[in-house]
Every structure is written in structure tokens, then in C-alpha cells.
Structure 1
Amino acid sequence: MSERISREELVRIYNVEITFFDSLEEAGLLTTETENEIKYLPYDDLSTFEKFINWHYDLEVNMAGLEVISHLLNKIEKLSSEKFTVIKLG
């Protein structure tokens, strides 16, 4: 079993709405584990969750904006790793 933290504990610690967490999950921006009807976020994904909190609450980026930003950053990361692989092989 991986290290993880419950959704309820996260929203309490970070003082965010549980609907915000659920919206991130519904949009596919967070992947949770469920056990005994309790949702958990793996510790490895905490930094991603914190980024979304900062963007949403500090910069006032809406859910659609979070999806776009996340998609573009993932694409940049993928392209960067592909470029690195091509350069390394070439």
C-alpha cells in the first residue's frame, strides 16, 4: 500500500472546498484511491494538488483553465523528454 492522505484531511489542512477536490478528480487532474468509501490521494501527487490550489485560489484560474494549463504542461514535458531522447540517440 502506497503512502497516501485522505481527501477529508487534505481539504482540512489546505482549507479548500471538498467540491474543488472532487472537481479536480472528475476532470482527471487527480487520481485517487478509494478504500472503505474513503478517497485518498497518493503523497506523490501532493505537489500537483498544491499547484492546482495555488492556481485556482491565488491566481483565480477556473477549472477549465486548470485543465488547459495541465494539458499544456504535460504536453511540454512529453515533447521535452522526446527531444532529449532523440538528441541522446542521435
Structure 2
Amino acid sequence: MNERISIEEIIRLYKIDYSFLNQLIDSELLHPETENSIQYIIYEELPHLERFANWHYDLDVNLPGIEIIHQLLNQLEELKNENRRLLHNMPKFENWEDAEF
């Protein structure tokens, strides 16, 4: 079982609006678990929640903006991983003139 924290506790600790948290859940940026009619967020998602809350409250970014920024950062991470994979699999040449293209 993953470690988790209840939505009520998140609202109290992070001092965020319930409606904002619900918007994040409705847009599938957060994925709560429900047990005995209590919703929980797993600890692994807390860094995302903190980032979204910072963007929203500190930078005044609305939900569509948060969704776009999140998607672009995910794409950037995927491109970095693909670049690392390609560089790792690329043959090593002593001299680029020896390479066959």
C-alpha cells in the first residue's frame, strides 16, 4: 500500500482551496484514491501538487495554464530521456571522418 494523505489534511497543511484541489483532480492532474468515502493523495504526487499550487497561488497561473505547463514539462523530460538513450547507443568514433552516414 502506498503512503498517502487525506484531502482534508492536504487542505489544512498546504492552505489551498478545496475547489482548486477538485479542479486538479477533475483535470486528472492528480489521481486520488478513495477508501471509506475519504479521498487520499499518494505521497508520490505531492511534489506535483506543490508545483501546481505554487504556479497557481504565487504566479497566478489558471488551470488551463497549469495543464499546458505540466504537459510541456513532461514532453521536455521525455525528449531529454530519448536524447540520453540515443547518445548512449551512439557508436563512439575517434574521428568524425571515420563515421559512415
The whole-number CA distance in structure 2 between the counterparts of 1:77 and 1:38 is 33
Q: 2:78 maps to what in 1? A: 78
TM-score in terms of structure 2 length: 0.86
Stretches (4+) displaced over 3 A: none
TM-fit CA distance, 1:22: 0.8
Runs of 5+ consecutive residues of structure 1 not aligned to the other structure: none
Q: 1:35 maps to what in 2? A: 35
Q: 1:47 maps to what in 2? A: 47
Runs of 5+ consecutive residues of structure 2 not aligned to the other structure: 91-101
CA-based RMSD: 0.7
Which of the pair has more CA radius of gyration?
Answer: 2
The whole-number CA distance in structure 1 between the counterparts of 2:71 and 2:20 is 18
- Which amino acid letter does the alignment assign opposite residue 41 of structure 1? I
Kindly indicate whether residue 16 of structure 2 is the aligned counterpart of residue 20 of structure 1.
no
1:24-43, CA deviations, whole angstroms, 9 ceiling, x for partnerless residues? Answer: 01111111111111111111
**Count of matched residue pairs:** 90
TM-score in terms of structure 1 length: 0.96
